[in-house]
Amino acid sequence: MAMLEMEPQAHLIDLESERRVISSMLHSEEACIEACNSLQPEDFYSPQHATIFELTCSLYEREVRPTYVELVKEAHTLGMLTSAREAEELRYIAEHYIYDGNIAFWVKRVRDRSRLRKFEAFIRKSYQLLREETERDVEQVLMEAEEELTNLTALEIDDRIDSPEEMARLGYDEVERRFLRYKEIKKKHKGVIPLDGLPTGFYNLDKITLGYKPGDLIILGAQTGHGKTSFALHTANAIAVKSEHNILYLNTEMSRQQIALRWGS
């Protein structure tokens, strides 16, 4: 059990990177935006660094420039960072400024160490569970562990905040790109528009969409017995059989036997 109680090893902690991130935030608005959008207080190993980071983001969100002086005032108002050691650490961080152009590098180091610590905690928790709950259902134990591990290893979501102007520009550029692509295909094939993607199995739908393309999401909504499965199997047949492309068909309502009979019909 001693293994479960030991502190995280040195390679799981990077206090220097934590200091550099906060220092850059106190001197650069760009660094504030990058760090506040990419990190959470719990990503910092040092509780003091987590507190300073949280206060800094709070000031910035209230449109107060998070300088060393403003941070001290905010901490004093909230009764935080009151000890001499905490004040000295904050002063040290503020004075050791780094070039904010490297902020993404230091943010990544802080985030990576945080993820490794979470992974280590997952291993310890799983080990302890195996020792203490030997009678639990094996499938349930494995499924819970798989779900937790998936959350740790999943690709990170882009949490960047886009302004209305940026979204409008993105939408305009995408519409323009698709229109120019349509004109190019039409000109190349002398007015006969070929499919730009995989066939849907329906002529009119092919004409409207130019076929299924990477990234497309098609959602069908209808009452039971109104053709959702028929549509899905028909379009799967068009892709897999007629066009000879791989396809994965999932059905959460029908058994394998029912799907086989339906496919055969």
> Per-residue pLDDT tens for 194-248?
677 888 888 888 877 778 887 778 888 888 888 888 888 888 888 888 888 888 8
| Distance of alpha carbon 99 from the chain centroid | 27
| Phi-psi category of residue 99: left, alpha or beta, with phi > 0 → left and psi -120 to 50 → alpha | beta
Interatomic CA distance for residues 168 and 29, integer angstroms: 24
> Count of alpha carbons within 13 Å of 162, Cβ hemisphere only?
9
Give residue 160's pLDDT band: very low, low, confident or very high (50, 70, 90): low
Q: Which residue has the higher pLDDT, 21 or 180?
A: 21
Choice among 60-64, 89-93, 149-153 with the minimum mean pLDDT: 149-153
Percent with pLDDT over 70 in the chain? 91
Contacts of 157 (CB under 8 A, 6+ apart): none
pLDDT recorded at residue 46? 94
Please say if the pLDDT value at position 31 is more than 60: yes
pLDDT recorded at residue 154? 67
Choice among 14-18, 135-139, 245-249 with the minimum mean pLDDT: 135-139
Interatomic CA distance for residues 252 and 232, integer angstroms: 13
Please say if the pLDDT value at position 111 is more than 90: yes
Q: Residues 79-88: contacts with CB within 8 Å, 24+ apart?
A: 80/51, 80/55, 81/48, 81/51, 81/52, 86/48
pLDDT recorded at residue 18? 95
pLDDT recorded at residue 193? 62
Give residue 1's pLDDT band: very low, low, confident or very high (50, 70, 90): very low
| Distance of alpha carbon 108 from the chain centroid | 14
Please say if the pLDDT value at position 6 is more than 70: no
Q: Which residue has the higher pLDDT, 184 or 14?
A: 14
User: Cα-flanking dihedrals φ and ψ of residue 136, to 5°?
Assistant: -70, 150
Contacts of 214 (CB under 8 A, 6+ apart): 197
pLDDT (mean) for 61-69: 89
pLDDT (mean) for 126-153: 82
Question: Which 3 state secondary structure label does DSSP give 212?
Answer: strand
Candidate ranges 57-71, 136-150, 213-227, 241-255; pick with highest mean pLDDT: 57-71
Two tokens, residue 223: 């009452």
Q: Where are the domains of the chain?
A: 2-153, 168-194, 195-265
Please say whether the beta carbons of 56 and 22 come within 8 A: yes
| CATH class label, 2-153 | mainly alpha
User: Cα-flanking dihedrals φ and ψ of residue 198, to 5°?
Assistant: -85, 145
Give residue 253's pLDDT band: very low, low, confident or very high (50, 70, 90): confident
Please say if the pLDDT value at position 3 is more than 50: no
Q: Which residue has the higher pLDDT, 150 or 194?
A: 150
